[in-house]
Structure 1
């Protein structure tokens, strides 16, 4: 996975919100960030992706990798196994769903290129 780093200004632009809102999220611990020696906040791509997913925000175009994969299975062990293997591939963004309704929502919000689907779901 890539290691892109974003400023709070970048995040506010991507999420179409005010800069002070992003800083508030960081200060409240909702959005993971670190500070540079100069006191500027920086957000890693993986942390921003987790935040967007957790709070069900629209997925910014800047975070969409070239290869989005959705794993749909009611067996959490299979999801963990598949995500472990696929997570080793460069330029891939993974998401998962444990049942059909959630999978439908994620197809719309995550817009995957590939869906790995348990046909017995």
Structure 2
């Protein structure tokens, strides 16, 4: 889950994660956690285990897996930015919001 920090009316997102759990990956790709474990056990997705036995996957390995298997890459993995849809029937409001968000980065 991504948490947002609101400081001085600015929305910021934490830096992109570098290591993911099997549950993180299942949520990102909208698949069953067991599918992720199967990919790891079949050596399709490189991983390592923590001293407690939990599986971890490096971000670069996950991206390589997605490219190799032609799985769409979630935008949060690519750039860490949000996509925002602005819907309003007043064009001035849309343009004002768009300009403000672009300035914020």
* Counterpart Cα distance in 1 of 2:77 and 2:17: 11
Counterpart pick for 2:53 among 19, 39, 55: 39
Aligned-partner Cα distance in 2 for 1:61–1:36: 27
Structure 1 stretches (4+) deviating beyond 2 angstroms? none
Residue ranges of structure 1 left out of the alignment (5+ in a row): 67-121
- Structure 2: gaps of 5 or more residues: 1-15, 81-105
Please report the TM-score for the alignment, with normalisation by the length of structure 1: 0.51
- 2:62 corresponds in structure 1 to 48
* 1:57 counterpart residue number: 71
Structure-to-structure mapping, 1:1-121, within 5 angstroms: 4-65=18-79
Q: Which has the larger radius of gyration?
A: 2
Distance apart, 1:65 and its partner CA: 2.0
SS in 1 for 2:61: helix
Q: Which has the higher strand share?
A: 1
Root-mean-square deviation over aligned CA pairs? 1.8
Q: Give the TM-score taking structure 2 as reference length.
A: 0.59
